[in-house]
Amino acid sequence: NFGIIYGISAFGLAERMGVDRREAKELIDEYFRTYPHVKAYMEHSIEEARQRGYVETISKRKRYLPDILSHNSVVRGYAERNA
């Protein structure tokens, strides 16, 4: 499910798949156990965005994320998912 790499929550995945949250969380956890480099890449991208205020796309375009350090967790979470 592409939602996992875009930061979907267990709640969101459960809603979309028609399963309970526990099962959705297990699916997310299993995905990252199976593909640990994906999780590491995501964490690295977020940390890079926090340090620089932007991330670079594969084509070297800078994507600025001004809300990456927001004190508002909803706003910051959106920026992190875009990192």
**For residue range 4-40, what is the model confidence (pLDDT) as tens digits?**
988 899 999 999 999 999 999 999 999 999 999 999 9
Percent of the chain with pLDDT over 70: 99
Domain 36-83: which topology? DNA polymerase; domain 1 (1.10.150)
- Do the Cβ atoms of 11 and 19 come closer than 8 Å? no
User: How many Å apart are CA 33 and CA 27, to the nearest integer?
Assistant: 10
**What does pLDDT average to over the chain?**
94
Structure tokens at 11: 């709640």
Positions of CATH 1.10.150.20 in the chain:
36-83
pLDDT of residue 36: 95
Q: Decide if pLDDT at 63 tops 70.
A: yes
Say which residue the tokens 């594969």 belong to: 58
For residues 56-65, average pLDDT: 94
- Do the Cβ atoms of 83 and 49 come closer than 8 Å? yes
- Amino acid found at 51: Q
Say which residue the tokens 């965005």 belong to: 49
- Amino acid found at 25: K
What does DSSP assign to residue 27? H
pLDDT of residue 7: 87
pLDDT of residue 26: 97
